[in-house]
Structure 1
């Protein structure tokens, strides 16, 4: 991740901070990476996770969804009880 000259300082309780640092480390990330990805998602910017899905995977997901939608339409309507 490119270094930026700006910092954001926040206040959290020590237990939450320690749990979050542990979570980041156990998931192969850093606290900064996690927070920046969350901020991007909140404001509608593309995230690294979104970039991980390639066009072939997206086409496959769309085809599977279309198939499921057709199958659901074949099911009889559920009677109201």
Structure 2
């Protein structure tokens, strides 16, 4: 609740126990958009690896694990 709304709520005589519950924050939309772009880039790389019959680069598994961790953290609301 914005500060001005809280102040209005209290100044008009409402008690804190009557205050509406705060909504849980949603996922960070900018982070989710960036992760989506990153996923698209990874898909393009994987297609190239398959088409050219190259082995994936060393360390790719770690990058994918970190992306999964960020997505799961964001969806769980743990910031």
Q: TM-score, normalised by structure 1?
A: 0.26
Higher helix share: 2
Q: TM-score, normalised by structure 2?
A: 0.27
Question: Comparing both chains, which one has the higher relative contact order based on Cα–Cα distances under 8 Å and sequence gaps of 6 or more?
Answer: 2
Q: Which has the larger radius of gyration?
A: 2
